[in-house]
Amino acid sequence: MNSLAAIGRYTLDSLRALGHHAFFFWELMRTLPTSLRRPYFAVAQVHALGNLSLLVILSSGLAVGFVLALQTYYALATYGAADSVGLVVNLSLVRELGPVVTALLFAGRAGTSLTAEIGLMKAGEQLAAMELMAVDPKSRVLAPRFLGGIVAMPVLALLFSAVGILGAYVVGVLMIGLDPGNFWSIMESGVDVRRDLGNGIIKSIVFGVICSFVAVYQGYEAKATPEGVARATTRTVVISSLTVLAMDFVLTALMFSPR
Amino acid sequence: MSRKGIETMVGGFVLLGIVALVFLALKAANLSSFSGDETYPLLAKFDNIGGLKVRSPVRSAGVVVGRVESIALDPKTFQGVVKLDVKKSVQFPADSSARILTSGLLGDQYIGLEAGADEKNFAPGDTIKQTQSAVVLESLISQFLFNKAADAGSTPAAPATNGGKK
């Protein structure tokens, strides 16, 4: 009997949490116009989330480009199609790995810093103090961070893909010795701007919304103790990553289904 | 960090993103070819379009002069009706022919236009009268077998068994 009640309670809790998320999202959207009256806060957040993530994103992009080029070369060389390394790496990065890996790294680096910062503000009663002063904390603190994440993610994903392709060039042409003309021309003719690049950008925007929203929500709803903040930080990473991967499957099925 | 410093860094960050986007779009994708040119439509009817797809190239002498815009089935004649967008700068004589060719051995299929000798050119929306359908592998094989059987049958030795062999 107790297990049945537990299932019921779990379902109801999940539904309530979903509703709470939706309500919070609506509140965030509602405060966006007021928060944009002072755009400097959002700009500072783009710096905190984007600029300061550049190191990890660029180095990861380079490493992923190197490894992808090597592995696809080994696989394609058996079929005599080694010249298509550039094309395969480009498509992999621009369609999938760029948005997804950047989102996972972003959740890990920027998402955790967002959650920890907001959680500590809550624990230090700064958010409550703001409310007392009739400053809406959602507009002053949360919305700029949310916007900053949405702006930073696509830029980071594009940089990841671009650096990955350059890394593939370094390995494929400079190290292995493939023909550079073929490398670029086969890539150019095989990648479509609207279908591949455009869909990749749409994906990265969606992932940016997901990661920023989850980070901001978990920070705001964290228990106002050090342990609560730590727990919220790990929850941010786990929930962001799982949601991004699930949405990636849905978006890929929608965007890249055979015509 | 000063306010101005942060704004500059963010500006640099966004600029870097735009540079990456431009690099990806131009160098690593097919943006530079063929978007934004003025085109005029032509129709072509084929018995079999084979593996032709929308946005397949239209080439003349190997040079891309257009794209396939749409493919439909004519419900009356049961022919495939292909609508081509050809660059305005290239005008074809009114008796030009269209064939469906394959680039390379196993590559994608495209439409090859061969210029005719007419003095008048196609008007936008005209139908290309002379078309040749795609090569279907099965028809080719059966044609080959039929020719082999016909050759063997024309010699006086044992015509009946060869008819049964196919």
What is the tens place of the pLDDT at every residue in B31-69? 555 556 788 899 999 988 888 877 788 889 988 888 888
- Give the minimum alpha-carbon distance from A12 to chain B in angstroms, rounded to a whole number: 43
The answer to whether residue B164 scores a pLDDT higher than 50 is: no
Average pLDDT over residues A206-215: 96
Q: Minimal Cα–Cα distance from B47 to chain A, Å?
A: 22
For the stretch A15-46, pLDDT in tens is: 999 999 999 999 999 999 998 888 999 999 99
Backbone angles phi, psi at A80, to 5 degrees: 70, 15
| Closest residue, chain B, to A162 (C-alpha) | B20
Query: What is the distance, to the nearest Å, from the Cα of residue A151 to the centroid of all Cα atoms in its chain?
Result: 11
Q: Which of A43, A94, A184 sits opposite B24 (nearest CB)?
A: A94
Mean pLDDT across chain A, nearest whole number? 93
B124-158 pLDDT, tens digit per residue, is 888 888 888 888 778 888 888 888 888 887 765 55
**Tell me, what amino acid is at B152?**
A
What's chain B look like in SS3? CCHHHHHHHHHHHHHHHHHHHHHHHHCCCCCCCCCCCCEEEEEEEECCCCCCCCCCEEEECCEEEEEEEEEEECCCCCCEEEEEEEECCCCCECCCEEEEEECCCCCCEEEEEECCCCCCECCCCCEECEEECCCCHHHHHHHHHHHHHHHHHHCCCCHHHHHHHC
Q: What percent of chain A has pLDDT over 90?
A: 83
Interstrand relation of B39-46 and B57-60 (parallel, antiparallel or unpaired): unpaired
**Listed range (A146-150, B80-84, B156-160) with the worst mean pLDDT:** B156-160
> How far is Cα A143 from Cα A148, in angstroms, rounded to an integer?
8
- Give the pLDDT of residue B166: 47
pLDDT at B6 over 60: yes
Q: Which residues of B make CB contacts under 8 Å with A?
A: 3, 6-7, 9-10, 12-14, 16-17, 20-21, 23-25, 27-32, 53-54
Mean of pLDDT values over A54-73 = 96
Distance from CA of B121 to the nearest CA of A (A): 31
Between strands B63-73 and B57-60, the pairing is: antiparallel
Query: Which residues sit opposite A246 in a β-bridge?
Result: none
- A95-109, A192-206, A231-245, B105-119: range with lowest mean pLDDT: B105-119
Per-residue pLDDT at B25: 86
In the predicted structure, residue A251 carries a pLDDT above the cut 70: yes
Residue of B nearest to A201 (CA): B21
pLDDT per residue as tens digits for the range A125-139: 999 999 999 999 999
Q: What is the distance between the alpha carbons of residues A142 and A137, in angstroms, rounded to a whole number?
A: 7
A contact test, residue of B24, B31, B67 with most A CBs within 10 A:
B24
The answer to whether the Cβ–Cβ distance between A192 and B30 falls below 8 Å is yes
